[in-house]
Every structure is written in C-alpha cells, then in structure tokens.
Amino acid sequence: MRKSYLDNLRWVTVVLVVLYHVFYMYNAEGIAGTLGKITNLDVQYYDLYQYIVYPWFMLLLFIVSGASARYALDKHTGKEFIKSRTTKLLIPVTVGLIAFQFIQGWINISLSGATDMPLVVQVIACILSGIGVLWYLQMLWIFSLVIVLIKKIDKDRFWNVCRKTPFWVLILIAALIYGAGQILNTPVIVTYRFGLYFLGFLLGYFVFSHDEVIEVTKKYFWLFAVIAVGLCIAFCIVYFGQNYADNPVYRSPLFLLYAWFGSLAMIGGFAKFFDFETKFTKWMSSHSWGLYVFHYLGISAVALYLAKPGLIPAWAAYLLSAIAGFALAYALYFVISRIPVYRWAVLGITKKKEKKNVQG
C-alpha cells in the first residue's frame, strides 16, 4: 500500500525548498552563488526562514528517499531498480545538462558576473553550473547503487532487526548524525555532504521503512517537536547572520542535532496528521518531481533580468521570484514531460504518462 504521509512529506518539503531558494537568492548573509541583498534594511530578519529549514530539509529528503528505495526494492529486482534509478536520476544530470539545464548554468554564471571568458570555457561552465539543485539527484543515484549491494549482502537481516528500533535508540542516533556530519564533506561545493546524507538514506532504508518505527515517531511526536523547536530557537539565536551553509556552522552540534530532531518531528507529524490523500495532495505529489527539477530557473531568472538591474523594487523581486519558481516549473514540467525523447533526457521519463514516481 502507498504511504500517503510519505507522499505528502515529500511534496511539502519540496515546496519548502522552493521558498527557501527565494530567500536564499536575496540573502544578506553573504552566501555565495546568489544575487545577494537588494534591500536597504540593516537586518533582514525574514532571512531567519533559511535558518529554520536549512539544517533538516535535505536530510529529510534523503531519509524519505531511503524509505522509498526500500519499498521499490520490495517490488523490483536489484537490476530493475538500478535501471530505473539510472534513467530517473543519472540521465537528467548528464544528458539533461546539455539538453536543457545549460540554460540554468548560463543564468548562474551571469549572476556571478563570470561571463568574461573564452567561448569554449563558457560552454563548459554553463553545462557544469547547470547542475544546480540537481546535486541531490547525483548523490541519490550513487546511494541507490550502493543500497542494492548492501541489500544483497545483508539479506534483510539487519533490516529486520531495525524493525524493533525503540524510542531511546532514535534519540541516540543523534550521536551518529553528529559523527556523520563531520566526514566526507566536499571542501568547495559544500552541498555534497556524503557522510550525513548517506546516513540519512540508510536510516530511511533500514529504520523508517518499518511501520513499527513510524508508530514510535507518532507516539513521541510532541516530544520530538518540542525538542526541535527548542533547538531551532537556539540555532537561530547563536548563528543568525553567519553563513549557515558552510563550515564551521554545518558541522556544529547545534546544527546537526536540530537537523535530526527536526527530521524526526516532521516524520512523526506527517505520519500522525497527514496520512491521507485528496485531489490536491495527489496532484502536488505527482508534480513534485518537476517542481524540484525546474524551480530554481524561474527564481534565478527574475533575479538576473529584473532584480539585478533594479527594474523592480525588492518586495516585487521576492514576490515574482516565488511566483516564477512555481509557475515556470509547473509549465516546463507540463510541456517537457509530453515531448518524446526530450522528456527522457531532461526528466528521466520514458513514458508519456509517468507512473506515480514517489515510493519507487
């Protein structure tokens, strides 16, 4: 049976990612790769939104992806799983870069002002910079290959043990999260946190794919929520104004503890209160893939062509970026998902009417 709370958790998290990138684009904390501050405010207090969601939302997506991988491997062979994940994840970040995402790359390098380079170098830069938010797909593809090997070795022995994960073990996993946050972090492009995100993926696969564990998160949801809120407030007080996306902040105990308990609270809360499906949630779930893949293009285009030259006031830049992030993403998904071959290259879709892609 489908897990409606998991579908809802995924699309809601993607929506949070879109909104995050709107604030991120015009942040006043000096985070590289964006247009940066466009207001005259001494302090942009609404930038707090970035600090509230950033520590946990990508960890949460990898946990959800790990659970989804387990459900998919229950229905498919390892070979079938790898084939489908290669099409869905690897093709868009290889062929898709040349077929479409180089447009995003051009906007990215234009925002940074790095367009004064030889044509050949420009083309290469556009293709590589076009990866953008698709780094998540790259890591997920690697993790998907590894989990097939792990499943073959484990033969579900450890997976069955994890079925009985109690409340106190979920608490203690915070120590593993802290340790994983210290290792395998790439030094320049800091989004590639292999230690933390692979652990999240493994936890999704081994732990949160069990209904018994989900019941534990539901039972202790309010405790997890209170801890998460407390850590959130502390994190915002301690680190507001600093670069939350780089070392040493993202390796700090406060960041990683908040990441873990924030994820636990979201999982427990959605399992407890949002385990249902409506026409709206079904539509949002089925379109969350396109929203994730395309959302940054609209946000960054408004920043480059309207906000950067000062053609619109700051409030309009935020508003239009948010609208463009959703509207252009859905429009592109609607059109490209219907074009044979091209939909395969850009979105990893092999059929005109794609089966619901969440949970495998």
Establish if 303 belongs to a structural domain: yes
Establish if 358 belongs to a structural domain: no
The 3-state DSSP class for residue 193 equals strand
DSSP H stretches of helix in 113-252: 119-129, 135-154, 157-162, 167-180, 194-206, 211-219, 221-239
CA distance 294 to 328: 7
Establish if 293 belongs to a structural domain: yes
Q: 356 pLDDT band (50/70/90 cuts)?
A: very low
The single-letter code of the amino acid at 134 is L
CA distance 150 to 137: 20
Return the pLDDT at 74. Answer: 93
**Where in the sequence is the domain holding 318, given as residue range(s)?**
4-347
Nearest alpha carbon to residue 27 among 16, 17, 18, 38: 38
Establish if 360 belongs to a structural domain: no
Return the pLDDT at 33. Answer: 82
Q: What is the pLDDT of residues 303-321, one digit of tens each?
A: 999 999 999 999 999 999 9
Establish if 12 belongs to a structural domain: yes
Tokens 């009985």 appear where?
164
CA distance 74 to 63: 17
Q: What is the pLDDT of residues 249-272, one digit of tens each?
A: 999 999 999 999 999 999 999 999
Report the number of secondary-structure helices (H) and strands (E) in the chain.
16, 0
In this structure, are residues 299 and 324 in contact, taking their beta carbons and an 8 Å threshold? Answer: yes
In this structure, are residues 168 and 219 in contact, taking their beta carbons and an 8 Å threshold? Answer: no
The distance from CA 15 to its chain's CA centroid, rounded to whole angstroms, is: 10
185: β partners: 193
* Average pLDDT of the chain to the nearest whole number: 95
pTM to 2 decimal places = 0.95
> Residue 323: exposed, middle, or buried by beta-carbon count in 10 A (0-12, 13-18, 19+)?
middle
349: left (phi over 0), alpha (psi -120 to 50) or beta: beta
Q: How many domains does the chain have?
A: 1
In this structure, are residues 195 and 180 in contact, taking their beta carbons and an 8 Å threshold? Answer: yes
Establish if 355 belongs to a structural domain: no
Establish if 356 belongs to a structural domain: no
Q: 1 pLDDT band (50/70/90 cuts)?
A: low
User: Region 157-165: what's the mean pLDDT?
Assistant: 97
Establish if 357 belongs to a structural domain: no
- Say whether pLDDT at 357 is over 50: no
In this structure, are residues 300 and 111 in contact, taking their beta carbons and an 8 Å threshold? Answer: yes
Q: What is the pLDDT of residues 340-349, one digit of tens each?
A: 999 999 999 9
Q: 113 pLDDT band (50/70/90 cuts)?
A: confident
